[in-house]
């Protein structure tokens, strides 16, 4: 049996903030991963690979927004075999990725707790509909904020599960009607812990965050 391939050591880790905009918000996480790996190869970025019989690029993602959701703050960490100029990598990656998948910022990682650095996400929801629905939004927001728990059911691969979505929300507010057409429920602060089981289910949300 052939011995597993040993890879060169990691000498630098970089953290990348990117956006999903326009029609590219419909890109799945898997499709984005493939597009990123192609962009890395085209840009000749010295990406590090895992050891073993089937080496994979050493890229870690801090969660992923649902398909169909535009986002101004998605994050990933990339391990490199050689040190790079961050500005050059930003320009090369941004040029190699499709328009709508845009690299916003790159910093060098100084800690190992990548996922733990993202503490919360901010979501904006545009809500359109008949007036009799929109006038109920302020009351619904107030009731949600005042509730100790709000249980919802979701079908998962392990069967039907119940979640307390109130525990995942830090704040929820409605802007003044004059600021947005039809009605808007925004922003909502969502705790990142267990985010995968508590993603909001509204239409046309936009997530954003602060890069650390």
Give the per-residue pLDDT at 2. Answer: 53
Say whether both 130 and 156 belong to one domain: yes
Q: Do the beta carbons of residue 50 and residue 56 sit within 8 Å?
A: yes
Say whether both 96 and 139 belong to one domain: no
Cα–chain center distance at 137: 26
Of 74, 95, 116, which closes a domain?
116
Say whether both 92 and 150 belong to one domain: no
Taking only the tens place, the pLDDT of each residue in 89-132 is 999 999 999 999 999 999 999 888 877 777 788 888 888 889 88
Q: Give the Cα separation of 128 and 172 in Å (integer).
A: 18
Total domains in the chain come to 2
CB-neighbour burial class of residue 17 (10 A; exposed 0-12, middle 13-18, buried 19+): buried
Of 79, 99, 116, which closes a domain?
116
Give the per-residue pLDDT at 103. Answer: 96
Give the per-residue pLDDT at 204. Answer: 42
Structural domain span for residue 102: 12-116
Q: Do the beta carbons of residue 69 and residue 3 sit within 8 Å?
A: no
Say whether both 101 and 56 belong to one domain: yes
Which is more confidently placed, 181 or 82? Answer: 82
Say whether both 110 and 177 belong to one domain: no
Share of the chain above pLDDT 90, in %: 49
- Asked whether residue 153 carries a pLDDT value surpassing 80, the answer given is yes
Say whether both 21 and 101 belong to one domain: yes
Say whether both 28 and 99 belong to one domain: yes
* Mean pLDDT calculated for residue range 134-158: 91
Q: What is the CATH number of the domain that holds 104?
A: 3.30.70.580
Q: Give the Cα separation of 82 and 60 in Å (integer).
A: 18
Say whether both 95 and 126 belong to one domain: no
Say whether both 137 and 104 belong to one domain: no
Say whether both 91 and 27 belong to one domain: yes
Instruction: Kindly tell me the sign of the dihedral angle through the C-alpha atoms of 61, 12, 116, 189.
Output: negative
Q: Residue 3 falls within a domain, yes or no?
A: no
Beta bridge partners of 58: none
Give the model's confidence band at 78: pLDDT under 50 very low, under 70 low, under 90 confident, else very high.
Answer: very high
Q: Residue 155 falls within a domain, yes or no?
A: yes
Of 57, 83, 116, which closes a domain?
116
Say whether both 36 and 105 belong to one domain: yes
Calculate Rg over the CA atoms of the chain: 20
Mean pLDDT (the chain) is: 82
Q: Residue 6 falls within a domain, yes or no?
A: no
Lowest model confidence (mean pLDDT) among 71-85, 128-142, 184-198: 184-198
Q: Give the Cα separation of 34 and 96 in Å (integer).
A: 12
Taking only the tens place, the pLDDT of each residue in 24-74 is 999 899 999 999 999 999 999 999 999 888 889 999 998 778 888 899 999
Say whether both 169 and 191 belong to one domain: yes
């Amino acid at each position: 049996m052939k011995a597993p391939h040993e890879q060169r050591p990691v000498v630098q880790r970089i953290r990348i903030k990117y956006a999903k905009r326009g029609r590219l918000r419909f890109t799945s996480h898997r499709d984005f991963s493939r597009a990123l790996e192609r962009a890395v190869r085209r840009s000749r970025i010295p990406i590090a690979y895992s050891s073993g019989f089937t080496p994979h690029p050493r890229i870690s993602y801090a969660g992923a927004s649902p398909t169909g959701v535009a986002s101004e703050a998605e994050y990933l960490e990339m391990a490199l075999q050689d040190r790079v100029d961050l500005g050059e990598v930003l320009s090369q990656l941004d040029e190699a990725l499709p328009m709508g998948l845009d690299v916003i910022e790159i910093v060098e990682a100084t800690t190992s707790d990548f996922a733990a650095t993202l503490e919360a996400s901010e979501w904006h929801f545009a809500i359109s509909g008949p007036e009799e629905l929109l006038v109920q939004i302020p009351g619904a927001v107030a009731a949600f904020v005042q509730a100790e728990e709000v249980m919802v059911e979701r079908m998962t691969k392990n069967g039907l599960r119940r979640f307390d979505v109130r525990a995942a929300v830090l704040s929820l507010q409605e802007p003044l009607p004059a600021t947005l057409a039809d009605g808007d429920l925004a922003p909502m602060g969502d705790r990142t812990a267990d985010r995968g089981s508590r993603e909001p289910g509204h239409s046309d949300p936009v997530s954003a965050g602060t890069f650390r």
